[in-house]
A = this chain, B = another copy of it.
Amino acid sequence: MADTPEIVAFDVLGTVVDWHTGITGHLREVFARRGVDTDPSSFAVAWRGRYLPALRSINAGERPWAPLDTLHRESLGALLDEHGIGPRIDEADREQLVRAWHRLPAWPDSVELITRLRYRSTVVALSNGSFALLVSLAKTAGLPFEGIISAESTRSYKPAPEPYAKAAELLEVDPAEILLVAAHGWDLTGAASVGLRTAFLERPDEYGPGGQAESATDVTADLAVTSTEELARRLGC
């Protein structure tokens, strides 16, 4: 990459925070409390698996926009029913699980990466989570973002063009002055369609140890790295 970007925008869920560990922990607790023997790790992966199809259905206009918490609640209910455990997981349990997405652990190197990039760029979050979810995540994980941009303001979801374009508009920069960092090729493809620069950051444990995370060799991006150290170095920090 030729030069340091004015703005570094981070995808959050999976790229900066470890949803699999956080959600699996809450599922383990709820399932134990209710005497359910479903595997929490694979349930977490299945729950997250409902995410992209739900976004796509909204972006395609097949259903009206709904906040991420609503999508999480619906997909949780459907999955619990498919596992035959819906009646055993009550409303308070479901609320705990949906709210668990507002308090997730950061990957161990995320805070240092953001802190380091702030010396040369303005570092923001650009996520499909609601503003409240992102503020809560940043606070609980100590993520020093300099601004938080939620796709909710566009009533569409990444990878639709609107959230990326909105980020450029809000930050008063050309899209090419923003570098999106994400662990997901579909996000980078959406960003590139609007003219943002793209960096793929490998997060091999996103779906748990041995899970099916994307790898740097699979993805088309302006930059593809396997570590935060390499990303910071390539950005001149």
Given contacts A130-B172, A153-B153, A172-B130, contact A122 B146 (CB under 8 A): no
CB of A88 within 8 Å of the partner chain: no
Q: Could you say which interface size class chain A belongs to?
A: 20 to 34
Cβ of B131 and Cβ of A147 under 8 Å apart? yes
Cβ of A170 and Cβ of B132 under 8 Å apart? yes
CB of A135 within 8 Å of the partner chain: yes
CB of A79 within 8 Å of the partner chain: no
The one of B130, B139, B148 in contact with A148, judged by C-beta atoms closer than 8 angstroms, is B148
CB of A124 within 8 Å of the partner chain: yes
CB of A54 within 8 Å of the partner chain: no
Instruction: Report which residue of A134, A136, A150 has the largest number of chain B beta carbons within 10 angstroms of its beta carbon.
Output: A136
A37-48 interface code vs B (CB 8 A; 1 in, 0 out): 000000000000
CB of A138 within 8 Å of the partner chain: yes
Cβ of B146 and Cβ of A139 under 8 Å apart? yes
CA distance A170 to B134 in the complex (A): 11
**For residue A136, which residues in chain B have a CB less than 8 angstroms away from its CB?**
122
A123-159 interface code vs B (CB 8 A; 1 in, 0 out): 0100000111011101100001011101001000000
CB of A171 within 8 Å of the partner chain: yes
10 of the cross-chain contacts (CB-CB < 8 Å) are A118-B139, A122-B136, A124-B135, A131-B147, A131-B170, A132-B171, A132-B172, A132-B173, A135-B147, A144-B144
- Shortest C-beta distance, A143 to chain B (Å), equals 10
CB-nearest residue of chain B relative to A150? B170
**For residue A124, which residues in chain B have a CB less than 8 angstroms away from its CB?**
135
CA distance A139 to B13 in the complex (A): 24
Cβ of B153 and Cβ of A146 under 8 Å apart? no
CB-nearest residue of chain B relative to A124? B135
Q: What are the 9 A-B residue pairs with the smallest beta carbon separation, nearest first?
A: A132-B172, A135-B147, A131-B170, A132-B171, A139-B146, A147-B148, A135-B146, A122-B139, A122-B135
